[in-house]
Structure 1
């Protein structure tokens, strides 16, 4: 009975996610991260901030919103005075990218993240709900586990493509059932290739953002292990 329920749930989830959320998803321009569009939004943000005594055009979010999804750009406040329209690849204009601001109080920068990650997370959470509870596989860190995706009806483990390395990134789950992307492989590569001064206890995710249009959305914080110098989850 549970297998039938999970199979039916997976079918319904896939039908919903592929058919409804992005009716224009087949348009390549809506799925391509253009540097020029990010730069255009950055220029508009700078002009808006200068004209409004440092105020930023951002949407109101909950206080516990994750760091890299917190400062969503409110294009209604930019269009048409500072931009003719939202970028074609933005969620507001039928695209798959959400535009955000980082460092709002110091060095304001415009970045993006891929909302298709949110779709995949929503799919996994719906299947967990149908299953009844998260089917934990292995404990990775305090309150962080891998998932037994076989029990959720997957033939292959779901992944997302890293915007930094193009490698496949897996998902992890907390005890409360929250799903996150695991960026440890990306972080390890960045730590090996870039100069840094991180210490144990520092959140090291900023190393991914430095030279990229993307933020590590839907991620838990990470730090550097004192002995191995490799990335580990930064948990309280």
Structure 2
């Protein structure tokens, strides 16, 4: 009897592995229109029922603009609007944090890839160790004013640290600003859109090209402007979506 029971259990586990391959696990679930629309509708309903208030968590003024307004799913649940967060959300072990872009106007729901933050946190640890010993960040070659490549030798790295682009899947380099804060260089993804859409001029922050074309925000990124056909990192660029 025990042998038969063991065989049944093993068979069940094998069937589950076939029915739920790696591509369908929560942590690998892609963001999709259905999930985004569901959360968007819930946010809109909450806003209508609460005099324009949004179901967001409080974040400090220094929080990067694209992750400054994360959705508080507890508020949506308490209001009996949304039973639980989407399966690919960070709250349920997934790779995406649901955020609100432009809360003053469009109130559009997007997602941020939390794996980017996890990689930057690891690099920031190495940067802080170096800064504590040398009183300044591991500046490498200057990209343009206020932004630098990382000095690999200074923090004993064999290759340029990268993150996987949530847009193209390609490797994007991690850079630092004048404060030594690690950021993602999204220029390759932006150049790809500029070329595809045949855009030669653009006023404002180029990061909004990414949010216009994708449901994912470029979290932990420097503002970017288009100057004579070249993408330039800017220290101060309007953060509106005009």
Give the TM-score category using the shorter length. 0.7 to 0.9
| Residue matched to 1:130 | 129
| Residue matched to 1:6 | none
| Residue matched to 1:30 | 27
| Residue matched to 2:235 | 235
Let me know the Cα RMSD of the aligned residues.
Answer: 2.1
| Residue matched to 2:224 | 222
Are the counterparts in 2 of residues 88 and 95 from structure 1 also a CA contact under 8 Å? yes
- TM-score, normalisation: structure 1: 0.81
**1:34 is paired with a residue of what secondary structure?**
coil
**1:188 is paired with a residue of what secondary structure?**
helix
> Displaced runs of 4+ in structure 1, greater than 3 A?
195-200
| Residue matched to 1:141 | 144
What's the CA shift string for 1:132-165, capped at 9, x where partnerless? 3432220011110001224323333221111222
The counterpart of 2:159, out of the listed 156, 168, 171, is 156
Are the counterparts in 2 of residues 73 and 100 from structure 1 also a CA contact under 8 Å? yes
Alignment of 1:9-24 (within 5 A): none
**2:154 is paired with a residue of what secondary structure?**
helix
Are the counterparts in 2 of residues 187 and 205 from structure 1 also a CA contact under 8 Å? yes
Structure 1 residues 182, 30: closer, same or farther in 2, change over 3 A? same
| Residue matched to 1:95 | 94
Unaligned 5+ segments in structure 1 are 1-24
**1:38 is paired with a residue of what secondary structure?**
helix
Structure 1 residues 203, 88: closer, same or farther in 2, change over 3 A? same
Are the counterparts in 2 of residues 198 and 204 from structure 1 also a CA contact under 8 Å? no
Distance 1:107 1:168 in 2: 31
Distance 1:34 1:184 in 2: 22
2:204 equivalent to 1:205: no
Are the counterparts in 1 of residues 187 and 231 from structure 2 also a CA contact under 8 Å? yes
More RCO (CA 8 Å, sep 6+) = 1
Larger Rg: 2
Distance 2:31 2:61 in 1: 30
- TM-score, normalisation: structure 2: 0.79
Alignment of 1:24-63 (within 5 A): 28-35=25-32, 36-63=34-61
Distance 1:37 1:101 in 2: 14
Unaligned 5+ segments in structure 2 are 1-21, 237-242
